[in-house]
Amino acid sequence: MELFTKILFLCLALALTNGAPAAPQDAAVDDGDALAALPDRCAGIEFDAIAPDEEGDTFFFKGGHLWKGYHGAAQLSNESFKELDDIHHIGHVDAAFRMHNKDNPDDHDHIYFFLDDKVFSYYNHTLEDGYPKEIQEDFPGVPTHLDAAVECPKGECKGDSVLFFKGQDVHFYDIATKTVKTKTWSHLPACTSALRWLENYYCFHGHNFTKFNPLSGEVTGAYPKDARNYFMTCPNFGHGGDYKGRKCSDVKLDAITSDDGGKSYLFAGPIYMRLDSHRDGFHAFPIVRNWKEVARGVDAIFSYTDKIYFIKDDQVYIYKEGAHYTLIEGYPKTLKEELGIEGRVDAAFVCPNEHTVHIIQGSRIRDVDLTATPRVVTLDLPLPLSDIDAALCGAEGINLFKGSEYYSYESTKILSTGRIALNPQKITSAMMGCQD
What's the angle, vertex CA 98, arms to CA 94 and CA 100, rounded to 5? Answer: 135
Q: Please, are residues 347 and 255 in contact by the beta-carbon 8 Å criterion?
A: yes
Predicted pLDDT at 27: 35
Q: Which CATH superfamily is domain 22-229 in?
A: Hemopexin-like domain (2.110.10.10)
pLDDT at 267: 92
Pairing state between β 208-212 and 225-226: antiparallel
Given this model, what pLDDT does residue 203 score?
97
pLDDT at residue 430 in the model: 53
CATH tag for 248-432 (out of 1.10.3720.10, 2.60.40.420, 2.110.10.10, 2.60.40.1220): 2.110.10.10
Determine contact, residues 175/101, Cβ cutoff 8 Å.
Answer: yes
Fold equal for 22-229 and 248-432: yes
Low pLDDT (below 50) residues in the chain: 1-36, 239-245, 431, 433
Q: Is 239 within any annotated ligand binding site?
A: yes
pLDDT score for 82: 81
pTM for this structure?
Answer: 0.66
pLDDT at 429: 59
pLDDT value, residue 244:
43
Chain centroid offset of residue 2 CA: 21
- Closest Cα partner for 391 from 426, 421, 334, 347? 347
**Where in the chain are the domains?**
22-229, 248-432
Model confidence pLDDT, tens digit, residues 51-107: 999 888 899 999 989 999 888 899 988 888 887 765 555 568 999 999 999 999 989
Give tens-digit pLDDT for 274-333.
776 555 555 667 898 889 999 999 999 999 998 999 999 999 999 998 757 889 999 999
What's the helix, strand, coil split of the chain in %, to 5?
15, 35, 50
